[in-house]
Amino acid sequence: MAPVDLTISPWRDAAACLANPDVDFFPPREDTLAIARARAVCAACPVADECLNWALLTNQPDGIWGGHTVKERRAIRRTWLEESQRAS
């Protein structure tokens, strides 16, 4: 995972979600249509990687970040932490 500035503003200004205020990036987990809409915005976002990295580093408990759900981010974070522990 690339190093990320923990402040949101450097990359957030270029985020596609800012231009899509009608899309819910914090939908209920069972609302698959809303999740798909959020992911579609993230798929075209120029800073999706930075968004995902920020969410992983700050352990965001809710929402779609970088196109990933909470469950997906937990799995990515778990793998990242395991790899970090093996490397040290």
Q: What is the tens place of the pLDDT at every residue in 62-73? A: 999 999 999 999
**Is residue 3 in a domain?**
no
**Is residue 75 in a domain?**
yes
Distance CA 29, CA 27 (A): 6
For residues 3-30, average pLDDT: 85
Q: What is the pLDDT of residue 79?
A: 93
Query: Would the pLDDT of 2 be above 70?
Result: no
Amino acid at residue number 32: T
**Is residue 4 in a domain?**
no
- Say how many domains are in the chain: 1
Domain that holds residue 59: 9-87
Q: What is the pLDDT of residue 8?
A: 60
Radius of gyration of the chain measured on its C-alpha atoms: 13
Q: 6 burial class (0-12, 13-18, 19+ CB within 10 angstroms)?
A: exposed
Q: What is the pLDDT of residue 3?
A: 56
Q: What is the pTM of this model?
A: 0.83
**Is residue 31 in a domain?**
yes
Give residue 87's pLDDT band: very low, low, confident or very high (50, 70, 90): confident
